[in-house]
Amino acid sequence: VAMAHGHGQCCCCCGEAAGTGGDPERGAAWGLYLRIDRQRLQCLNERREGSGALVFRAWEERGDRAQFVESDDDEELLFNIPFTGNVKLKGVIVMGEDDGTHPAEMRLFKNIPHMSFDDTAREAEQTFSLNRDLTGELEYPTRIARFSNVHHLSIHFPKNFGAETTKIFYIGLKGEWTEAHRHEVTICNYEASANPADHKLEQITPQTHFIS
């Protein structure tokens, strides 16, 4: 039980992303892509089905120009990103082309699963004006207090720099991940109910101490 309990406190998302070239420490910081529930990840208005998921990858692989998502009907893109636990989001990177297809604005929403374009009319938790970033070096820091307990993140790109469609090659997410709280609660209940039983056992048969 002690071991499982300790596991519930783990809040690192490093290690797996490190060591594949580049700056391993920086790469590890951008490891939240490993904590996305990819089965439930959605990208609305993507031209090619499933292409939205490709932009969430290791920081060291951000330069792979073969993997990208392009919008379909107009310039808008909306990502619904469920995590496998709770995330404290600290920063975002958005990489595109050096032309009009690069997104010009990014709006972040938290904990609104299955957002649609209609839902984007509401006020975002945070909005960023984006600069063209071809190398994935520009980091947009979030207001951490607002993004300290995120189990679902929606990213809305409402406009670009003038092209008919928007193209994104890489989205980096930086932060800390913790296992979902319900798991920890289960463990605590188990420990709480186990303790009185232990004490009863000791009162009835004190000699068990010597046997063990």
Whether residue 196 is contained in a domain is answered as: no
Q: What is the CATH number of the domain that holds 140?
A: 2.60.120.470
From 42, 164, 40, 26, select the one nearest 91 (Cα to Cα). 26
Question: How far apart, in Å, do the first and last CA atoms of the chain sit?
Answer: 19
Count of structural domains, the chain: 1
Whether residue 195 is contained in a domain is answered as: no
Whether residue 57 is contained in a domain is answered as: yes
Cα angle 88, 77, 118 (rounded to 5 degrees) comes to 90
Whether residue 169 is contained in a domain is answered as: yes
Strand partners, 110: 153
Task: Quickly state the pLDDT bin for 201 (edges 50, 70, 90).
Answer: very low
Is the pLDDT score of 3 beyond 90?
no
Whether residue 166 is contained in a domain is answered as: yes
What's the average model confidence in pLDDT over 4-23?
Answer: 41
Is the pLDDT score of 196 beyond 70?
no
Strands 105-110 vs 126-129: parallel, antiparallel or unpaired: antiparallel
Whether residue 190 is contained in a domain is answered as: no
Helices marked H in the chain — which ranges?
2-8, 24-29, 51-54, 181-204, 208-211
pLDDT in tens, 17-37: 333 345 777 888 899 999 999
pLDDT in tens, 37-58: 999 999 999 999 999 999 999 9
pTM of the predicted protein model = 0.76
Q: Is 35 helix (H, G, I), strand (E, B) or coil?
A: helix
